Amino acid sequence: MLAPEEFTVGTFASAPAGSLILPRNKHEATAIVGLLDEAPTAVFLGNRFQFHYFPTTSSHNWSGLIIPNVLVEVDESTAFDPAYGNSSLGTMVRAATQLSIYAKSERSFGRHVAVPLVSNLPATYDGGVGFTKWQVVLGAGREKRILLKIDVETADQ
């Protein structure tokens, strides 16, 4: 459950980076907002347009329930080296000072991009690590609530 002060409603353009957007009806979609090239960017997480991204700055046609200040947690048992092989869309990758999700644009022909969700982390020393299971949470400790779980291995790609 969400307290009334933990969410708002608006367009994707009004959702700051670090927000989870949930649908209110069948025409809306679940998305998480990161920053790609300093621009707020939404990545769809539901079945519709799964793991596609687009900049949200002028996105006034998409809207939903906006939950700001969410956190991403990864399942360490699914860790792998993304340098060896083709990482799936939706994979969460920690490299350099960022935690990013692999997503693709609508017209990308299969090429994916790392959309940063968290920046300014302590730098990794060498390479990166990918995770195929992760979740979006709100709060910490006893107050933590899991809002969404993603398993890339079972996702429709």
Reported as a single tens digit per residue, the pLDDT across 55-102 is: 999 999 999 999 999 999 999 999 999 988 778 999 999 999 999 999
Percent residues over pLDDT 70 in the chain: 96
Q: Is 125 left (phi over 0), alpha (psi -120 to 50) or beta?
A: alpha
Residue spans of the domains in the chain: they are 4-154
DSSP 8-state secondary structure symbol assigned to residue 47:
S
- The pTM assigned to this predicted structure is 0.93
Q: Specify whether the CB–CB gap between 93 and 82 falls below 8 A.
A: yes
How many Å apart are CA 56 and CA 18, to the nearest integer?
13
Whole-number Å distance between alpha carbons of 2 and 138? 9
